């Protein structure tokens, strides 16, 4: 029963149970854990893990019951074949289930069921990703996707349609800012504001995009053809049309509006009001808003006295900075400063982000810009600062332990010597060395 349910919902919003699938997800919160085919395959895998051993044991038991020579000959013939066939069968199941992830295709069942047909994701998505990767010259930028996807994406792809989780975060090399905050790791009220104003005030949406370290804005005409046409008729201020692939247009955000992934600041501006039309949105909505090395903090995020003290101490410092991205969880910043400064990392604020100077952790870690990490560095001179995300280090340690355990197991099996098997002789069991049998 579990396997049947898993197979039934794995087809998602496609026929024959697509409408029922969407209704269940919309009305039962707990079922949203199975909104994707990957999650539903957990049920099928669970059923496999229980049924396959049961069937194997039962087959072995029944074959072993035969006492005549014909049964023994059958067992002798089946055993070597099964030893080779079973591993290949499991490998085939894994590859078949993973095939949509490899090819970018998903399985849609047409009206004549169960003749499955594979429909591919439009090539334009991959062409956009390749173009951005080449244009960015390996600089770490984010991508903003419009229209906003309120949890699920609905798109018209040529002769078929798609309804499911937003696909861009899974296809693009650069992180994508979308309505579903967990897909990016930059949760901020600004993201909600940006999508709310994107149709009413695209100019503000562009400035917020740059503020969130987004160099590119992608308008998906497959999901909203009218929005694609709107941007084509009148391009918002601060945007430059770069390229269009089929129904997807790519725009560059003016460099003056883009806040870098890592930068040093000598200007901490304390915003005493907050809300959808105040605080950061109000500051960004200023027509003169652009990146000038500043950082913002809203009242309540840190103590006012601490913010004022930091703002005063960094005001007259002069800095220059360069940095290397080792990977998305590790950066090395090289700063030349005449006095104290703020080092800003435009990634989701998390206490587990750590910055180290000369091997010592920098203690004053605050949230700025509504979402980003910042460290108050009270040193001057040429400095090299390492920034890392601690859970990634734990992952590497766990990976090392796992690899070591596998190697130890292999060495143990190799050094253990020849295996033994049980030989049934009447009512006695005795061991026999396989090398002498």
pLDDT tens-place string over residues 13-38: 666 677 777 777 677 766 666 666 66
> What distance in Å separates the CA atoms of residue 299 and residue 269, rounded to the nearest whole number?
10
Q: 50-100: per-residue pLDDT in tens? A: 777 787 777 766 666 655 666 666 666 666 766 677 677 766 665 554 444
What's residue 340's pLDDT?
A: 93
Q: Is the pTM of this model over 0.75?
A: no
What's residue 370's pLDDT?
A: 80
Residues 68 and 127 in one domain: no
**The last residue of a domain, from among 50, 84, 118:** 118
**The last residue of a domain, from among 257, 287, 308:** 257
Rg (CA), the chain: 29
**The last residue of a domain, from among 118, 140, 170:** 118
CATH at residue 252: 3.40.50
Residues 108 and 174 in one domain: no
Q: Give me the residues of the chain with pLDDT under 50, please.
A: 97-118, 181-187, 276-277, 422-423, 425-437
Residues 27 and 71 in one domain: yes
Residues 84 and 31 in one domain: yes
Query: Domain range spanning residue 284?
Result: 262-391
Give per-residue burial for 78-102: e unless 16+ CB within 10 Å, then b: eeeeeeeeeeeeeeeeeeeeeebee
Residues 73 and 133 in one domain: no
What's residue 146's pLDDT?
A: 82
Residues 170 and 56 in one domain: no
Number of compact structural domains in the chain: 4
Residues 284 and 302 in one domain: yes
Q: 361-409: per-residue pLDDT in tens? A: 999 999 888 888 999 999 998 999 999 998 888 888 888 888 888 888 8
Residues 153 and 218 in one domain: yes
**C-alpha closest to that of 184 among 143, 133, 140, 139:** 143
Residues 144 and 252 in one domain: yes
CA atoms within 13 A on the CB side of 424: 3
Residues 251 and 140 in one domain: yes
What's residue 75's pLDDT?
A: 64
**C-alpha closest to that of 127 among 5, 283, 269, 247:** 247
> What distance in Å separates the CA atoms of residue 215 and residue 205, rounded to the nearest whole number?
13
- Secondary structure of the chain as H, E, C letters: CHHHHHHHHHCCCCCCCHHHHHHHHHHCHHHHHHCCHHHHHHHHHHHHHHHHHHHHHHHHHHHHHCCCHHHHHHHHHHHHHHHHHHHHHHHHHHHHHHHHHHHCEEEECCCCCCCCEEEECCHHHHHHHHHHHHHCCCCCCEEEEECCCCCCEEEEECCEEEEECCCHHHHCCCCEECCCHHHCCCCCHHHHHHHHHCCCCHHHHHHHHHHCCEEEEEEECCCCHHHHHHHHHCCCCCEEEEEEECCEEEEEECHHHCCCCEEEECEEEEECCCCCCCHHHHHHCCCCCCCCCEEEEEECCECHHHHHHHHHHHCCCCEEEEEEEEECCEEEEEEEECCCEEEEECCCCCCCEEEEECCEECCCEEEECCCEEEEEECCCEEEEEEEEEHHHHHHHHHHHHHHHHHHHHHHHHHHCCCCEEEEEECCEEEEEEHHHC
Residues 418 and 360 in one domain: no
Residues 283 and 302 in one domain: yes
């Amino acid at each position: 029963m579990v396997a049947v349910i898993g197979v039934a919902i794995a087809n998602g919003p496609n026929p024959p149970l697509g409408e029922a699938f969407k209704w269940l997800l919309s009305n039962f919160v707990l079922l949203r854990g199975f909104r994707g085919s990957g999650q539903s395959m957990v049920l099928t895998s669970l059923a496999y893990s229980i049924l396959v051993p049961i069937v194997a044991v039962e087959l072995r038991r029944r074959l072993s019951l035969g006492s005549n020579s014909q049964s023994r000959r059958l067992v002798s013939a089946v055993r070597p074949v099964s030893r080779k066939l079973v591993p290949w069968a499991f490998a085939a199941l894994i590859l078949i289930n993973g095939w949509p992830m490899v090819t970018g295709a998903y399985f849609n069942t047409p009206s004549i069921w169960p003749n499955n047909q594979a429909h591919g994701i439009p090539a334009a998505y991959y062409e956009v990703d390749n173009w951005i990767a080449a244009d960015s010259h390996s600089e770490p930028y984010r991508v903003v996707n419009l229209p906003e996807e309120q949890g699920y994406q609905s798109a018209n792809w040529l002769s078929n349609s798609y309804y499911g989780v937003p696909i861009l975060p899974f296809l693009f090399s650069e992180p994508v800012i979308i309505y579903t905050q967990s897909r990016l790791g930059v949760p901020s009220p600004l993201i909600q504001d940006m999508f709310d104003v994107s149709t009413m005030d695209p100019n503000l949406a562009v400035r917020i995009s740059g503020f969130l370290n987004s160099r590119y804005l992608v308008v998906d005409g497959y999901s909203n053809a009218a929005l694609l046409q709107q941007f084509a008729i009148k391009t918002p201020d601060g945007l430059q049309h770069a390229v269009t692939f089929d129904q997807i247009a790519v725009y560059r955000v003016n460099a003056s509006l883009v806040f870098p992934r890592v930068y040093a600041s000598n200007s901490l501006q304390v915003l005493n009001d907050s809300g959808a039309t105040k605080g950061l949105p109000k500051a960004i909505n200023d027509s003169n808003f652009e990146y000038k090395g500043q950082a913002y903090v809203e009242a309540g995020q840190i103590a006012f006295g601490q913010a004022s003290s930091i703002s005063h101490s960094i005001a007259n410092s002069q800095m220059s900075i360069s940095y290397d991205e080792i990977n998305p969880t590790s950066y090395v910043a090289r700063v030349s400063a005449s006095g104290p400064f703020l080092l800003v990392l435009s990634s989701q604020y998390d206490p587990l982000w750590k910055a180290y100077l000369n091997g010592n952790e920098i203690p004053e870690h605050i949230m700025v810009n509504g979402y980003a990490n910042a460290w108050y560095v009270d040193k001057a001179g040429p400095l090299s600062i390492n920034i890392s995300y601690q859970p990634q280090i734990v992952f590497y340690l766990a990976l090392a332990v796992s690899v070591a355990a596998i190697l130890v197991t292999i060495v143990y099996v190799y050094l253990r010597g020849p295996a033994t098997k049980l030989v049934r002789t009447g009512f006695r069991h005795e061991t026999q060395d396989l090398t002498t049998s």
